[in-house]
Structure 1
Amino acid sequence: MLAIRLPAEIEQRLDALAQETGRTKTTLAREAILEYIDDLEDYYLAEARARKNRKTIPLEEVGRQLGLGD
C-alpha cells in the first residue's frame, strides 16, 4: 500500500478528473504511475549503469582523438 501527500492544486485536479470521468482517484493515480514508471525505470537504471561503468578521458586526449591539436 502507498499513501502520498499531494499539493492542493494537484489534489483539486485529481478530484475534478475523478468526478468528470467517474473513476476513483486511486484508479487515476495508478494509471498515471503505470504510464510513467517505465520511463523512470529506463532513466534511473541507465544512469546507474553509466555511473558504474564511467570511464573518464582527459580533455587533452579528447582533443587529440578529434584532431584538435595545436
Structure 2
Amino acid sequence: MNVTVDVVGEGSREVTVDESATYADLVREVDRSPQEVSVLVDGSPVPEDQPVGVDHVQVLRLIKGG
C-alpha cells in the first residue's frame, strides 16, 4: 500500500507499507518516533496502533518544553 505522508513543516514523502502496518509503523518509515508526533487523518488524530486505512496522512510534530 502506498501512502503519502505529509510531515508538517518538512514536506511530503511517498511510503510503501504492507497491509498489516499500523500508523506507528508509518511514522517510523519517515524517521520519527510515535512518541514525538501525532498522526492526523482528515484533520483528526488516530491511535498509533490502528491499522493504516487511508492513502494520505499528516504527521504533526509535538512540541514540549517548560
Q: TM-score, normalised by structure 1?
A: 0.19
Structure with larger Rg = 1
Larger RCO (alpha carbons 8 Å, 6+ apart): 2
Question: Which structure has the highest strand share of the two?
Answer: 2
More helix by share: 1
* TM-score scaled by length of structure 2: 0.20
